[in-house]
């Protein structure tokens, strides 16, 4: 099962949110127009487990390795 999230503005992903989806084998599909930010404790492995794909028009901030993992999911 996938969750769909649409955000216009700033969307912040934190470890607790991503872990909740990873444990439930639920991937999050993101569509962000604005800024996608990641908490400093988000790991590339957690991004791989919990994010299905992302559509981003704007910027992305957060830990370099986690941002790289999330950029790989941009469609």
Residue-wise pLDDT for 20-45, tens only, equals 999 999 999 999 999 999 999 999 99
Burial of residue 44 (number of CB atoms within 10 Å: 0-12, 13-18, 19+): middle
**% of the chain exceeding 90 in pLDDT:** 96
Q: Does residue 1 surpass a pLDDT of 80?
A: no
69 C-beta neighbours (distance < 10 Å), count? 19
Q: Does residue 60 surpass a pLDDT of 80?
A: yes
pTM of the shown model: 0.90
Local structure of 23: helix, strand or coil: helix
Output the average pLDDT for the chain: 96
Question: Residue 46: its pLDDT value, please?
Answer: 96
What is the distance between the alpha carbons of residues 54 and 36, in angstroms, rounded to a whole number? Answer: 10
């Amino acid at each position: 099962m996938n969750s769909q999230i649409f955000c216009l503005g700033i969307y912040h992903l934190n470890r607790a949110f991503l872990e909740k989806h990873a444990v439930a084998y639920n991937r999050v599909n993101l569509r962000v127009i604005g800024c996608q930010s990641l908490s400093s404790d988000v790991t590339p492995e957690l991004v791989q487990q919990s994010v299905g794909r992302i559509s981003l028009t704007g910027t992305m901030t957060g830990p370099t390795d986690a941002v790289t993992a999330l950029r790989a999911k941009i469609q």
